[in-house]
Amino acid sequence: MESVRTQVVIIGAGPAGLLLGHLLEREGVDSVIVETRSREYVEQRVRAGVIEYGIANFLEESGVGSRMRAEGLVHHGIEIRLDGVSHRVALSELYDGHAITVYGQQEVVKDLIAARIASGAPLYFDATVTSVDAQTTDEPSVVVSSNDGDRVISGGYVVGCDGSHGVASASVPSGVLRRYERLYPFSWLGILAEAPPATEELIYCRHPRGFALYSMRSPTLSRLYLGVNPDESLNEWSDERIWEELTVRLATKQVVTISQGAIIERGITPMRSVVVAPMRFGRLLLAGDAAHIVPPTGAKGMNLALADVRLLAPALVASLRDHDERLLDAYSDECLRRVWRAEEFSTYMTQMLHPHPSAEFENGVQTARLRQVIESEDTARALARNYVNLSSL
Ligand code: FAD
Ligand code: DHB
């Protein structure tokens, strides 16, 4: 079997793996990125859309933020819609003038792939890591399977940036990693539609029939979500039904229609929280969704993934270049403190905005929480801080 050596083997070309490769490359550390999907697939995969203030700055400082700055939509507030009435949370006024940037995850991925290809550093698409050996050796390795056959890639470290169903964490012997998990009783049905966004800011809506979220990608593309039951499938949701339900949930007393257009992408995502700890097993490290999942209501998933590698890259550089392990030793604990904060915030947003189908008491408490955000400046300020910048606090 062909065998290749590098300094860091990175599994997965999502936001975490690609940014890690880029940051290492800037410091002169070699890496190989292995991605099971094709380039077209990862560049078209529609997922998150909100980039926090500190993470947007970091992308720019890292030399991969220029298109985001030019094309991303800077938002200074969000709307919360309750009982047909809109309430604005003035994010920037409440949090030191800072704002979020709405820029699709697949655009971040495109920018990072372009930077990688321009650098000439190895990035293999359509190549699947089938096993990871980080247990018994100072030189961990992975087996990669592709149309060209199998090969072994070894390095000083292997980093699992391979998402929520990855091989990296599964390769760790049982009993070493602890997995904390919670399932929520809803899923999100998400669509991308060729429709000009009806509003300038995101709308998070709590309606007796369920949650709805109005987001966007550009002046001509809307991104909308509906909270649905976890057992529902896309077959049950015709275009007419999706638009009807979005219209009913998002209607206000003044405006009862939303702009519609051709639906060009759709999917259903179950909502869950997962934390895997620790995020290190010897020379194997985990970053991004490979180590943690948050429910999407707080818009934290991609931000957390990028924040992990912001810490991990200098830690790997210090170890490989200066034999200084201190940053790597601190990596897991430091990430997990932020991850649990993000789990707390995402759970808070989720439980406040998704009416429970039957638990009336729970619904009373949720509405009271939402009213606090609307009526108390202190509560709104705490929400704004976490929404705009949690991953850099
Ligand atoms: P990923 O982006 O998942 O990247 C992992 C990569 O590893 C993938 O490209 C995968 O193909 C590759 N891979 C996996 N196994 C292997 C292997 N064995 N060999 C080689 N490559 C492998 N977050 C939000 O904040 N808002 C949202 O609206 C939102 N929507 C989402 C919708 C869906 C369907 C999903 C799955 C996630 C969503 N998220 C959302 C979460 C957010 O997109 C993730 O947090 C983010 O993608 C994490 O980045 P990552 O690089 O850690 O993982
Ligand atoms: C988007 C996704 C989210 O999970 C969220 O909370 C806000 C916006 C989006 O895809 O635009």
Tokens of 165: 């169903």
Does residue 48 sit in helix, strand or coil?
Answer: coil
In the reported structure, the alpha carbon of residue 230 is separated from the centroid of ligand 1 by a whole-number distance in angstroms of 20
Beta strand 203-207 with 123-124: parallel, antiparallel or unpaired? unpaired
In the reported structure, the alpha carbon of residue 305 is separated from the centroid of ligand 1 by a whole-number distance in angstroms of 9
Nearest ligand, measured from the Cα of 78: 2
Q: Which of 46, 47, 50, 214 best tests ligand 2's pocket when mutated (most atoms within 8 Å of CB)?
A: 50
In the reported structure, the alpha carbon of residue 16 is separated from the centroid of ligand 1 by a whole-number distance in angstroms of 9
Q: How confident is the model over 313-320, as a mean pLDDT?
A: 98
Tokens of 167: 């091989």
Which of 68, 92, 36 is closest to 306 using CA atoms?
68
In the reported structure, the alpha carbon of residue 73 is separated from the centroid of ligand 2 by a whole-number distance in angstroms of 13
Residues 6+ apart with CB under 8 A from 315: 327, 328, 330, 331
pLDDT for 256 beyond 80: no
Q: How confident is the model over 139-167, as a mean pLDDT?
A: 97
In the reported structure, the alpha carbon of residue 77 is separated from the centroid of ligand 2 by a whole-number distance in angstroms of 14
Q: Which of 37, 302, 353 best tests ligand 1's pocket when mutated (most atoms within 8 Å of CB)?
A: 302
Ligand 1 atom with the smallest distance to the CA of 164 is: 3
- The residue whose CA is least distant from atom 28 of ligand 1 is 48
Does residue 238 sit in helix, strand or coil?
Answer: coil
pLDDT for 48 beyond 90: yes
Tokens of 241: 């039904």
Q: How confident is the model at residue 1 (pLDDT cuts 50, 70, 90)?
A: confident
Distance CA(190)–CA(44), nearest Å, equals 15
Distance CA(367)–CA(253), nearest Å, equals 19
Determine if ligand 1 sits within 6 Å of the CB of residue 288.
Answer: yes
Distance CA(103)–CA(74), nearest Å, equals 9
Give residue 356's pLDDT: 87
Residues 6+ apart with CB under 8 A from 139: 154, 155, 156
Q: Which of 52, 106, 213, 268 best tests ligand 2's pocket when mutated (most atoms within 8 Å of CB)?
A: 213
Q: What's the number of CA atoms in the CB half-sphere (13 Å) around residue 330?
A: 11
pLDDT for 136 beyond 80: no
Give residue 33's pLDDT: 98
Distance CA(291)–CA(335), nearest Å, equals 10
Asked whether 313 and 24 are in contact (CB, 8 A), the reply is yes
Beta bridge partners of 221: 218
Tokens of 354: 């998704």
Among 204, 214, 225, 331, the active-site one is 204
Residues 6+ apart with CB under 8 A from 241: none
Determine if ligand 2 sits within 6 Å of the CB of residue 299.
Answer: yes
Burial class of residue 152 (count of CB atoms within 10 Å of its CB; 0-12, 13-18, 19+): middle
Nearest ligand, measured from the Cα of 269: 1
- The residue whose CA is least distant from atom 6 of ligand 2 is 299
Q: How confident is the model over 277-299, as a mean pLDDT?
A: 98
Give residue 199's pLDDT: 85
Q: What is the pTM of this model?
A: 0.97
Q: How confident is the model at residue 255 (pLDDT cuts 50, 70, 90)?
A: confident
Q: If DSSP states are collapsed to H, E and C, what string results for 259-298?
A: CCCCEEEEEEEEEEEEEEECCEECCEEECHHHCEECCHHH
Tokens of 24: 């290492």
Looking at residue 103, the DSSP 8-state letter turns out to be -
Asked whether 294 and 304 are in contact (CB, 8 A), the reply is yes
Write the CA distances from 350 to 10, 211, 298, 347, 366, integer angstroms.
32, 9, 7, 5, 10
Give residue 137's pLDDT: 80
Nearest ligand, measured from the Cα of 35: 1
Beta bridge partners of 11: 34, 160
